[in-house]
């Protein structure tokens, strides 16, 4: 069982979480529970670390110490939940990331889990003790504390489930995965099931209900994951929540299953790039060497025959680094001008059905045109189409597409 920040936000809510866990234990389950920090806590800790670092003298990165700070939010909630469970008469103990251990690489702030030796944890659970594990945190082979990136408790939960060969129930503030973010489109519908592939696209395209990496892990280890509401009095029945599972377990087939939106985008345009073979490779080699992740790419002809424009997108927090890199290489690459645009967002439609259906893109472009929304870039894969648009139109676009693909709930 995993409980997110809203579910753990106050002592009172933690007591309710403890009651749900007690019900599950009473049903005879052996349990590991992964928890997030209280809602808002991680933001506060990140802000504190940001105020004091990185050092103006440039004596080096402080990412490892920021992780020490930021990982503490989950330490607090795991202890509190163990206290709440004990006071309800249950046997429970907390297990910090370093005690299990949850071993990660050393990319502080966005570490990846490399191994979770499940023996000690499994043995404790087998005695009937409930194990409480702080999400989000891990430890390097050198014993340094790491964190898994925002939303990383989902990944901790799936990884612990995989290590224990268990199923994983993710309890959050919505009662499942919806056709789009229900906060944007109230007509969104809960999906009883969604395939790993579609959930992976939805998550990586901005549906933050699950961290992308958690879905990757679930898919690789075939962990059955359910998304459920923690704001309930009794345990969920079989028809509640959303099961993330293999495609062939899903009877109802739709062409488009969901709409996702991400504001974490920045568009970089290089104007007047010399039209010679190898220039595009040069640009993207520089970005790759700096470990900057590129998403959409558009190359077009400029008015002069020998120059082109090159547009690409990066994550918003990488925009400044990408811009500096390009400016430093302006002479070598030979482009005339660079522009960075942060007022963009990416809206995507996802569905395994589009593999075998024509006209999916047409529906998308028509629906957006009808609302007067102009497209700045487009990218596609087998099961998704994404467009980059001005961020002022984000919600409008999500709702228009949700309707256009027939996803709206009946009134």
| Nearby residues of 16 by Cβ (< 8 Å), 6 or more positions away | 230
Question: Does 37 contact ligand ASP by CB under 6 A?
Answer: yes
- The single residue among 73, 97, 109, 151 that binds Mg ion, judged by CB under 5 A, is 151
Return the range that interacts with ligand ASP (CB under 6 A); candidates 151-159, 174-182, 227-235, 362-370.
151-159
Kindly state the smallest distance separating residue 42's Cβ from ligand ASP, in Å. Answer: 4
Output the smallest distance, CB 336 to ligand ADP, in A. Answer: 40
| Residue 153 binds ligand ASP, judged by CB under 6 A | yes
Pick from 152, 206, 241, 351: which binds ligand ASP (CB under 6 A)? 152
22 binds, among ligand ADP, ligand ASP, Mg ion, none (CB under 5 to 8 A by kind): none
Q: Is 351 in the site for Mg ion (CB under 5 A)?
A: no
Neighbours of 143 (CB within 10 A): 8
- Residue 97 makes contact with ligand ASP by CB under 6 A: no
- Which entry of Mg ion, ligand ADP, ligand ASP, none binds 181, CB below 5 to 8 A by partner kind? ligand ADP
User: Which region, judged by CB under 6 A, interacts with ligand ASP, from 47-55, 149-157, 166-174, 304-312?
Assistant: 149-157
Measured from the CB of residue 261, what is the shortest distance to ligand ADP in angstroms?
8
Q: How far is the CB of 41 from ligand ASP (least distance, A)?
A: 7
Report the nearest approach of ligand ADP to the CB of residue 276 (Å).
43
Between CA 120 and CA 229, with CA 151 as vertex, the angle to 5 degrees is 85
The size of the interface with ligand ASP (CB under 6 A), counted in residues, is: 13
Rg, the chain, Cα only = 23
Q: Which is nearer to ligand ADP, 173 or 323 (CB)?
A: 173
Contact flag: residue 138 with ligand ASP (CB under 6 A) = no
Candidate residues 3, 95, 136, 335; the one interacting with ligand ASP per rule CB under 6 A: 136
DSSP string, 165-207: T--EEEEESSSS-BSS-TTT-TT--B-SEEEHHHHHHHHHTT-
Kindly list the distances between the CA atom of residue 29 and the CA atoms of 95, 125, 238, in Å, as whole numbers in the listed order. Answer: 19, 10, 16
Instruction: Summarize as ranges the residues that interact with ligand ADP (CB under 6 A).
Output: 4-7, 36, 151, 172-174, 177-178, 180-183, 207-209, 258
Q: Are the C-beta atoms of residues 265 and 316 closer than 8 Å to each other?
A: yes
Q: State the nearest-atom distance from the C-beta of 184 to ligand ADP, in Å.
A: 8
269 phi and psi angles, rounded to 5 deg = -115, 125
Of these partners, ligand ADP, ligand ASP, Mg ion, none, which one is at the site of residue 177 (CB under 5 to 8 Å by kind)? ligand ADP
Which residue lies nearer to ligand ASP by CB, 154 or 185? 154
Answer yes or no whether residue 135 interacts with ligand ASP by CB under 6 A. yes
The set of residues, in sequence order, having a beta carbon less than 8 Å from that of 171 and lying 6+ positions away, is: 1, 2, 3, 4, 7, 17, 20, 228, 229, 230
- CA dihedral of 320, 325, 328, 330, whole degrees rounded to 10: -100
Give the DSSP H/E element, type plus range, for residue 367: helix 360-370
- Positive or negative, the CA dihedral 111, 21, 216, 192 is negative
Pick from 126, 243, 149, 245: nearest CA to 204: 149
Contacts of 377 (CB under 8 A, 6+ apart): 267, 296, 297, 298, 311, 313, 387, 388
Binding range to ligand ASP, per CB under 6 A, among 12-20, 35-43, 331-339, 392-400: 35-43
Q: Could you say which residues in the range 206-245 bind ligand ASP, by CB under 6 A?
A: none
- Burial (Cβ within 10 Å: 0-12, 13-18, ≥19) of residue 181: buried
How many CB atoms neighbour CB 124 within 10 A? Answer: 18
Tokens of 284: 């993207």
Question: What is the rounded CA–CA span in Å between residue 266 and residue 169?
Answer: 34
Scanning 12-20, 147-155, 231-239, 314-322 for contacts with ligand ASP by CB under 6 A, the matching segment is 147-155
Contacts with ligand ASP, residue ranges (CB under 6 A): 4-5, 36-37, 42, 73, 135-136, 150-154
């Amino acid at each position: 069982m995993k409980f997110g920040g809203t579910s753990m936000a106050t002592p009172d809510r933690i007591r309710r979480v403890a009651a749900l866990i007690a019900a599950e234990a009473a049903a005879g389950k052996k349990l590991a529970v992964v928890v997030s920090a209280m809602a808002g806590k991680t933001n506060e800790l990140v802000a504190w670390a940001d105020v004091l670092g990185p050092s103006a003298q440039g004596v080096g990165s402080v990412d490892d110490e920021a992780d020490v700070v930021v990982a503490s939010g989950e330490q607090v909630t795991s202890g509190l939940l163990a206290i709440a469970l004990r006071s309800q008469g249950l046997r429970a103990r907390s297990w910090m990331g370093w005690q299990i251990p949850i071993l990660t690489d050393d990319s502080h702030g966005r570490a990846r889990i490399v191994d979770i030796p499940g023996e000690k944890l499994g043995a404790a659970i087998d005695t009937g003790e409930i194990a409480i594990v702080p999400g989000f945190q891990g430890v390097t082979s050198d014993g340094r504390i790491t964190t898994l990136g925002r939303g990383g408790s989902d990944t901790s939960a799936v990884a612990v489930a995989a290590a224990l060969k268990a199923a994983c129930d993710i309890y959050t503030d919505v009662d499942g995965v919806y056709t789009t973010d229900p906060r944007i489109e109230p007509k969104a519908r809960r999906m009883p099931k969604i395939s790993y592939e579609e959930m992976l696209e939805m998550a990586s395209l901005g549906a933050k209900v699950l961290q992308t990496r958690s879905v990757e892990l679930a898919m690789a280890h075939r962990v059955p994951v359910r998304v459920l509401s923690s704001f309930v009095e009794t345990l969920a029945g079989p028809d509640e929540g959303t099961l993330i599972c293999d495609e062939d377990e899903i009877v109802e087939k739709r062409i488009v299953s969901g709409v996702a939106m991400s504001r974490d985008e920045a568009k970089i345009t290089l104007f007047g790039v010399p039209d010679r073979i190898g220039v595009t490779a040069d640009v993207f080699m520089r970005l790759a060497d700096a470990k900057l992740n590129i998403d959409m790419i558009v190359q077009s002809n400029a008015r002069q025959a020998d120059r082109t424009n090159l547009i690409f997108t990066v994550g918003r927090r990488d925009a400044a680094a990408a811009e500096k890199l390009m400016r430093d290489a302006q002479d070598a690459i030979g482009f005339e001008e660079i522009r960075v645009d942060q007022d963009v967002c990416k809206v995507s439609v996802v569905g395994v059905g589009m593999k075998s259906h024509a006209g999916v893109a047409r529906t998308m472009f028509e629906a957006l045109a009808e609302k007067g929304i102009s497209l700045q870039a487009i990218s596609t894969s087998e099961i998704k189409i994404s467009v980059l648009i001005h961020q002022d139109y984000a919600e409008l676009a999500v709702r228009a597409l949700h309707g256009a693909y027939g996803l709206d709930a009946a009134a």
